[in-house]
Amino acid sequence: MKNICFCFQMHSPYRLKRYRFFEIGNDHYYYDDMATEDHVNWLVHTSYMPLCHTLRDMINLSKNKFHCALSVSGTMIELFEQFSPEMIDILKELAATKCVEFVAAPYSYSLASEYDLNEFKAQMELQAKLIESVLNTKVQTVWNTELLYTDETAYNLYKMGYKTIMTEGAKHILSWKTPNYVYQSAGAPKMKVLLRNAGLSDELSFHFSDSTWHNYPIDAEKYANQLLALPKEEDIINIWVGADTFGIRQHSDTGIFDFLKALPYYVLEREMGFMTPSEAAKKLSAESVITAPFPLTWSGEAKDLSTFTGNDLQQEAIQKLYAVAERVHLCQDKNLKLNWLRLQDINYLHNMNHIDQGATQFESAYDAFINYMNVLSDFLQRVDEQYPTTIENEELNELLKTIQNQEKEIEELEKQLKEAKKAKKACTKKAEK
């Protein structure tokens, strides 16, 4: 049976305010709250809320046969809680249906998996805890930032306890293969890899309203027939798009929401089904091995990290940011750690791309770079006040070891205390009898 796996991705950064050179050392608040609120509300009312209502209707109309996934960053959930709590309510409603899977992602949508493994682990854990506490559901599958994947990342995630990862079905890793199977990671043989069908996904994201597109107009019946026409043995078709496809990239007057709402009827009528990523990984066997020794993403023509790290400005920013990672990990200043988390957002690097800046308030990549580096300079000064750069690496490593040993000792003592309490409780029950 052929199955369709939909996933919709939601993320937006905190907007940086105009931060000038003379503010370094004097102003430690880096964000434009009004611009952030306006942007979040625009996303919610134009795209995210109508999409979630449509997904709820699709689940109800299909009698719970429609299944899909949502990738919502920790930052995005934070922003919903601050500026649009009604989004939290609808996400809870979707989670309660058990038809929607919420997948794991780095909390701040960062490149930590490439630059700082400890930070990557911390962000994955933080986002998983937030999803569980806010939406009362556990994450099982990983959507790394921009679908970032390497064999090493798969290995690291497997050690964290994850069994499934999502990435781009790029031609240079597929060769003659198709993305429409479950694969096995070369970096972690027990890790299942799901690959995005770029063609069918991009048809919705970029071509739905394109009158020059060979398939125009795209309607639900025609799209379902496209899916059905794929070889019978290809058992999972992964259609993953930014949630802003619906209402923003493709405006509501194009009929994009009506298309989505009608799709389950035509898919189910043709005896195809829907799966979440974790359902696909559990129910379907791996066809073969996929290897990616170098970073793979869904961004740009090259499907690598060049959109975010491809020029000197971006390289300068990211190297300076992660150079202080160990020092930030040592500090106990909550506000400093919060800034550290937020400043890792990949969107700030995207703004420094000369060719594609995305949605940005800056006039040029250089303008975005100067603003970010001013912010970063103030942040680095604050880090230096906590742990001066005069501290040698050896001394810093010793501090880290001490902290790690203390954490292990605390864990062991907590374990012993728990066992003692259990034993005491058992003795009390025995005495009562």
Written as one letter, the residue type at 19 is Y
pLDDT value at residue 355: 83
For 376-428, the pLDDT digits (tens) are 999 999 999 888 766 555 555 565 555 456 556 666 776 777 777 777 777 76
> For residue 395, what pLDDT is reported?
55
CA distance linking residue 331 with residue 333, whole number of Å: 6
Total-model pTM: 0.89
Q: Is residue 143 helix, strand or coil?
A: strand
Query: For the domain bounded by 3-290, which CATH number is listed?
Result: 3.20.110.20
Helix residue ranges, H only, 208-255: 220-229
Q: 276 pLDDT exceeds 90? A: yes
Q: Supply the pLDDT for residue 176.
A: 87
Alpha carbon distance 14, 29 (integer Å): 12
Rounded CA separation 132/50 (Å) = 24
Contact of 215 with 312, CB cutoff 8 Å: no
Helix (H) or strand (E) holding 313: helix 312-322
For the ranges 222-231, 330-339, 350-359, the one whose mean pLDDT is highest: 222-231
Sign of CA dihedral 135, 140, 141, 143: positive
User: pLDDT tens digit string along 128-137?
Assistant: 999 999 999 9
Q: What secondary structure letter does DSSP report for 44?
A: I
Which pLDDT value is given to residue 390?
Answer: 62
Instruction: Note the pLDDT of residue 418.
Output: 75
Least Cα distance to 192 among 281, 293, 290 occurs for 281
- How confident is the model at residue 24, as a pLDDT? 94
| pLDDT at residue 272 in the model | 97
pLDDT surpassing 60 at residue 253:
yes
308-317: per-residue pLDDT in tens? Answer: 999 999 999 9
Give the pLDDT confidence of 44-101 residue by residue, as tens digits: 999 999 999 999 999 999 999 999 999 999 999 999 999 999 999 999 999 999 999 9
Structure-block tokens of residue 75: 């930052």
Cβ atoms < 10 Å from Cβ of 128: 22
pLDDT number for residue 408 = 62
- Ranges assigned E (strand) in 84-209: 100-102, 141-143, 164-168, 182-185, 192-196
Output phi, psi for 255, to 5 deg. 90, 15
Alpha-carbon gap, residue 199 to 204, rounded angstroms: 9
